[in-house]
Amino acid sequence: MTSVQSSTRLPCGNRVLDLAQTHVMGILNVTPDSFSDGGRYSQLDAALRHAEAMMVAGATLIDIGGESTRPGARAVSPLEELERVAPIVECIHRELDVIISVDTSTPAVMRETARLGAGLINDVRSLRRDGALDAAAATGLPVCLMHMLGEPGDMQDNPQYQNVTKEVGEFLAERMVQCASVGIPAERIILDPGFGFAKTLQHNLSLFKHMEALHALGRPLLVGVSRKSMIGQALNRPVGERLHGGLALAALASIKGARILRVHDVAETVDVVRMIAAVESAE
Ligand code: 8Y4
């Protein structure tokens, strides 16, 4: 049995992620305006304190992004994105024992943050930007490939699928082939269904229900549903009242075999994951 199982140890830069367990990835707030209130130092300090609190609460990964994926968000130049993200990556790498995930689609940001200590590339565009496949390959880091159709700005205009889970699986399989073509082996890939990206509520619910089908691709799954509108729509809750719905989805995702949960509410989600592990490890 163990002879046919792929390795559960995923090297992430100078750290290793043990994929036999479910991990919690904390989402770091990155304030967009460098000159708001206290200036650069206080922003860096706030980011470090937030990352540290999430690590103490049990996050093994911290996801750092400098470009908003919200529809209508202003485009950010590669230099601007790098100036937001690089100091935070450098500071967290120096100060904390945690794996840094960089939420980016930008080749230069992949290359530079890998040099500064990032351990994982989290690209919602699945390395489809010009130069992204080569940049990610050059870093040697693992990559999270996420399903999305179109761009964040237009992805919610009338998304259509015959069979959403099947089409998400086909998309991810195709991106794995593209990765292989530049020398990123399957062993370095994490897959993500992309909840909330180019999907209606019914698409999101069906994809969640049938998520296990994606295990056929042979790679660990990352799930990001924290505070998303699929919870808001299913429960009729504003963004500040989506914690309990999110924890229900975290528990379900963990039971369905997801290995990384990307969340805002780390302490609460870690309790969910630990409680499930306690039951599953009983006689
Ligand atoms: C409140 C706050 C409600 C933020 C929704 C949101 C994913 C991701 C995002 C995901 C991976 C988000 C960067 C959207 N979602 N990366 N990134 N998977 N791998 N919206 O699902 O959190 S941003």
* Mutate-to-test residue for ligand 1 from 227, 263, 266, highest number of ligand atoms within 8 A of CB: 227
Cα of 130 vs centre of ligand 1, distance in Å, is 22
Q: Is ligand 1 within 6 A of the CB of residue 195?
A: yes
CB–CB of 129/109 below 8 Å? Answer: no
CA of 4 to the centre of ligand 1 (A): 33
User: In the CATH scheme, what is the homologous superfamily, with its name and number, of domain 21-278?
Assistant: Dihydropteroate synthase-like (3.20.20.20)
**Catalytic site residue 262?**
yes
Other CB atoms within a 10 A radius of the CB of residue 90 amount to 18
The answer to whether the CB of 50 is under 6 A from ligand 1 is: no
- pLDDT score of 17 more than 50: yes
Active site residue 199: no
Using the atom order of ligand 1, give the atom closest to the CA of residue 124.
16
**Strand pairing partners for 71?**
none
Average pLDDT of the chain, as a whole number: 94
Model pLDDT for residues 156-194, shown as the tens digit of each residue = 888 999 999 999 999 999 999 999 999 999 999 999 999
pLDDT at 30: 85
Domain residue spans in the chain? 21-278
**Above 60 in pLDDT, residue 199?**
yes
* Ligand 1 centroid distance, CA of 162 (Å): 24
Give the HSE-up count for residue 195: Cα atoms under 13 Å, Cβ half-sphere: 28
Which residue, 6, 19, 32, is CA-closest to 61?
19
Q: Which of 244, 239, 149 is nearest to 203 (CA)?
A: 149
Does the CB atom of residue 239 touch ligand 1 within 6 A? yes
Instruction: Confirm or reject: Cβ of 198 under 6 Å from ligand 1.
Output: no
- pLDDT range class, residue 2, cuts 50, 70, 90: very low
pLDDT tens column, 207-255: 999 999 999 999 999 999 999 999 999 999 999 999 999 999 999 999 9
What pLDDT is recorded for position 35?
55
Cβ-contact 59, 24 below 8 angstroms: yes
Q: What atom in ligand 1 is closest to the CA of residue 225?
A: 21
Relative to the CA of 27, which ligand 1 atom is closest?
Answer: 22
- 222 close to ligand 1 (CB < 6 Angstrom): yes
Distance CA 282, CA 79 (A): 51
Q: 125 CB less than 6 Å from ligand 1?
A: no
| Lowest pLDDT segment from 56-65, 68-77, 198-207 | 68-77
